[in-house]
Each structure stands twice: as structure tokens, then as C-alpha cells.
Amino acid sequence: MNNLPIVELIDNGLIAYESAWEQQTILHKQLIQNKLEARKLSPNIVFEQKNHYFLLCEHPHVYTLGKSGKPDHLLINDEFLKNIGATFYPINRGGDITYHGPGQIVGYPILDLENFITDVHVYVRNLEQIMINVLAKYQLEGIRYKEYTGVWLGPEKGKPARKICAIGVHLSRWVTLHGFAFNVNTNLDYFNYIVPCGIVDPEKSVTTLSKELGYDLDIEEVKLQVRNGI
């Protein structure tokens, strides 16, 4: 390919999970359909998509369960879910259960990886690296755990390892869906009602950027750091 692919960045602000899911699905199907139509004419070449997409947003309180997750990792019933103003969606990404809510930056790349790199592990590592680079801007060292996706802090003396960014993706015909959730000013109480990412380990917990730094951050400032790292 002579030209770098164009990735359109779309900032949806605060958007209901259902609406964001519908938007992702439309764009995902569009890229797949583009590819299938092109292959009818030229089956032996890699189709160069004209546009790819990177969606950024926040969600109202919602829990999502990946296709390999366990439903009983949601620790509350429907009535309690309603009382805390949250919703629940089983979806087709990898991974287990996670939480999205205000103060959390969520990113959904809709990319045809055949125009970038056809290696899902490298793709996930690249998403992690974006978050690691953002954390470095705040003098925090983000790390990876071989057995888990996502980005962590610690462990340190008196503190367990703390997950600050969850990642769960899905690919169809090399077109990506879902993405990452980066805890900035997130209300950690909502994680008490799930087994986060299905990890049952007293030496591992969940954290936010604000908790680590000791003050709330301007979400738009942090989002700018994420945008610059994409």
C-alpha cells in the first residue's frame, strides 16, 4: 500500500451503551461489506479500506459480559441493578464481565487489520501500549501481566496489583470490534458488584487514575492524551 490508512476519530461524549453498540455494529458491518464486495472483483488482493474508525466515549453505568464470561460474575439481581441505575448486556467480545461508567474513557477501534497487521496479539499489545504511554504522562508505570489482558499498576509495598485499563476485543474477517476501558475518575463502588474480568485473586484489585494521583482529573485533558497516543 502506498498510503497510510485513514482512521477517523469520533468522540461521542457520554452515550448510552446500546447506542454505542449500534454505531459500532453499523461501522463494523460496513467495513466487512466493503471487503466482501471488493473480493468479488479481485479475490487475490488485500482490499484497502478508505476509512477506519476509532470511537471514544463515556457510558452511563453498565455491565457487559464477554462471550467466555460467567453470568454469576454479576453479583447482583435485576432489582438491585435497577436501584443503582445500571444496565447489563451480554456481548460478543472476548473476556469476562466488566463495568463502564462516567469518568471512564472507553475506546472502540473499528479497523480492518488486513490494512495494518494481521496479528491479534500484536493488536491487543498496541492498545495496551497506548494506555501505558498515557500513564507515563502522569508519572505512573503501567505494566502488563502475561496471563491477563489490560494494563496494571504495581504491586508495591502495601498495595496489590491494580488494574486500571480493561481490554476486550472481537474480530470478524479481521475487522475489529469493542476495545478498552480506562478508569480515570470512575466510581470504584460499582466494581464491588461484579468479579471484575473474572479475576478471583486477593492480590489483584481495580483502580483509577484519580485514586493513584490523589485528585480528580479533567476527563477531556486525559482524553486528549489518549487521542495523541492513538
For residues 105 and 127, the answer to whether their CB atoms sit within 8 Å is no
Strands 62-65 and 204-206 turn out to be unpaired
The total number of structural domains in the chain stands at 1
Mean pLDDT to the nearest integer, 11-25: 97
Query: Does 1 fall in a domain?
Result: no
Residue 197 catalytic?
Answer: yes
**What residues make up the domain containing 65?**
7-229
Query: Does 191 fall in a domain?
Result: yes
pLDDT for residue 43 is more than 50: yes
Q: Name the residue among 66, 59, 62, 120 with its Cα closest to residue 93.
A: 66
Q: Outline where DSSP puts E strands in the chain.
A: 7-14, 52-58, 62-65, 87-90, 97-100, 104-110, 143-145, 148-153, 161-172, 175-183, 204-206
Query: Does 49 fall in a domain?
Result: yes
Phi-psi region of 198 (alpha: psi -120 to 50; beta: other; left: phi over 0): left
DSSP label at residue 194: B
Predicted confidence band of residue 44 (pLDDT cuts 50, 70, 90)? confident
Task: List the CATH number of the domain containing 199.
Answer: 3.30.930.10
**136-177 residue pLDDT tens:** 999 999 999 988 899 999 898 888 999 999 999 999 999 999
CA–CA gap between residue 54 and residue 10 (Å, rounded): 6
pLDDT of residue 1: 44
Q: Which of the following is catalytic: 197, 209, 222, 226? A: 197
Strands 143-145 and 104-110 turn out to be unpaired
Question: In sequence order, which residues have a C-beta less than 8 Å from that of residue 195 and are 6 or more positions away?
Answer: 70, 73, 75, 96, 97
Query: Does 2 fall in a domain?
Result: no
Q: How many CB atoms lie within 10 A of CB 226?
A: 19
Question: In sequence order, which residues have a C-beta less than 8 Å from that of residue 73 and are 6 or more positions away?
Answer: 65, 96, 97, 194, 195, 198
Query: Does 203 fall in a domain?
Result: yes
Query: Does 201 fall in a domain?
Result: yes
Query: Does 173 fall in a domain?
Result: yes
Which range among 2-6, 52-56, 102-106 shows the weakest confidence by mean pLDDT? 2-6
For residues 120 and 169, the answer to whether their CB atoms sit within 8 Å is yes
Name the residue with cell 505494566: 143
CA–CA gap between residue 70 and residue 125 (Å, rounded): 25
* 3-state class (DSSP) for residue 8: strand
pLDDT for residue 195 is more than 80: yes
